[in-house]
């Protein structure tokens, strides 16, 4: 459901930008719409890129899907340079860092490229539009409520997120903390730690194991990223024995 919404939102945004961009489209062939995701091997990212491709096909543009092998801003800067040289019409950015991409993206905008960010946003100076595919407040609050239900309303919980610079996750975590503070039902729930798995499987597993060892009374973990979602399945049985 969320996926479809995302695709629709992107399609709308691209549609709007395309109108604005129509004049600068390369004379030969289709306009190029590029997306840069955080890194390869992220199931959510693959869905997101697939949706992007579908939307680009619908508006008759060529889709370029890029993702570095490591979730770093350095690699994304390099890719932005490659896209500028290819004279793409649009760069849709899922940033690994809100600020570090600013110089590169500003350069892209200067070259006439429409820059939007989605999912994990970049700072306002680095983009024209940001698409929030979900309501951060609702995500944050609902996730806390869900875990409260799962653990029976009291106990220690932790968060295993993506990178510490992932804008969207950080926003959700803010709302989680607010929900914990504001909702009287949550007064017996204690958030003991926010850990970062950097959207890498091995690091997520290691962080998860760290959480289980450090907090033996841990009742639940919120993992607001698909990569971090996998480790608990791996780690928990081990922790029980």
Partner 1 sequence: MELQQPFSLKRFFLQWEWMLVLIFVAVNVINMNLSPYYLDAEGLRDATMSFLDKAFIVLPMVFIIILGDIDISVASIVALASVVMAVSFQAGVPMAAAMVICLLVGTACGFVNGWLIVRFKELSSVIVTLATMIIFRGIAYIILEDQSAGKFPAWFKFLGWGYIGEVPFMLIMFVLAVLFFSWALHKTAFGRRVYSMGNNVTAARFSGINVDGIRILIFTVAGLMSGVTALFLTSRMGSTRPNVATGYELEVITMVVLGGVSTSGGKGRMIGAVIAVFLIGYLRYGLGLINIPAQILLIVIGSLLVAAVLVPNFKWSPRAR
Binding residues for partner 1, rule: CB under 8 A, are 40, 64-70, 72-75, 77-79, 81-82, 84-87, 97, 99-100, 102-104, 107, 164-165, 196, 198
The least CB distance from residue 241 to partner 1, in Å, is 29
Nearer to partner 1, 40 or 154 (CB): 40
CB of residue 221 vs partner 1: minimum separation in angstroms? 17
Residue of 173, 195, 168, 205 whose CA lies nearest to 93: 168
Q: Which is nearer to partner 1, 69 or 182 (CB)?
A: 69
Question: CB 226 → partner 1: shortest distance, Å?
Answer: 19
Cβ proximity to partner 1: between 68 and 220 the closer is: 68
Select 72 or 143, whichever has its Cβ closest to partner 1.
Answer: 72
- The angle formed by the CA atoms of residues 43, 47 and 50, to the nearest 5 degrees, is 135
Cβ 149 to partner 1, closest distance in Å?
A: 29
Nearest to 158 by CA among 234, 203, 230, 209: 209
Q: How far is the CB of 188 from partner 1 (least distance, A)?
A: 28
Instruction: Name which of 108 and 218 has its Cβ closer to partner 1.
Output: 108
Output the smallest distance, CB 83 to partner 1, in A. 9
- In the complex with partner 1, the residue whose CB is nearer, 34 or 144, is 34
């Amino acid at each position: 459901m969320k996926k479809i919404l995302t695709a629709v939102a992107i399609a709308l945004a691209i549609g709007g930008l395309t109108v604005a961009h129509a004049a600068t489209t390369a004379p030969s062939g289709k306009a190029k719409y590029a997306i840069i995701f955080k890194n390869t091997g992220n199931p959510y990212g693959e869905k997101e890129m697939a949706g992007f491709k579908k939307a680009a096909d619908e508006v008759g543009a060529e889709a370029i899907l890029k993702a570095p092998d490591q979730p770093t801003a350095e690699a994304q800067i390099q890719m932005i340079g490659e896209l500028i040289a290819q004279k793409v019409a649009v760069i849709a950015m899922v940033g690994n860092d809100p600020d570090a991409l600013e110089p590169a993206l500003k350069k892209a905008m200067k070259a006439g490229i429409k820059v939007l960010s989605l999912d994990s946003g970049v700072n306002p100076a680095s983009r024209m539009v940001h698409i929030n595919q979900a309501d951060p407040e609702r995500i944050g609050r609902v996730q806390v409520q869900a875990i409260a239900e799962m653990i029976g309303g009291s106990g220690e919980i932790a968060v295993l997120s993506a990178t510490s610079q992932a804008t969207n996750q950080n926003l959700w975590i803010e709302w989680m903390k607010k929900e914990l503070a504001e909702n009287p039902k949550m007064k017996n729930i204690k958030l003991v730690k926010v850990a970062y798995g950097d959207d890498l499987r091995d690091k997520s597993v290691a962080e998860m194991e760290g959480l289980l060892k450090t907090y033996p009374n841990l009742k639940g973990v919120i993992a607001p990223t698909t990569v971090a979602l996998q480790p608990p399945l791996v780690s928990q049985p081990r922790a029980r024995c």
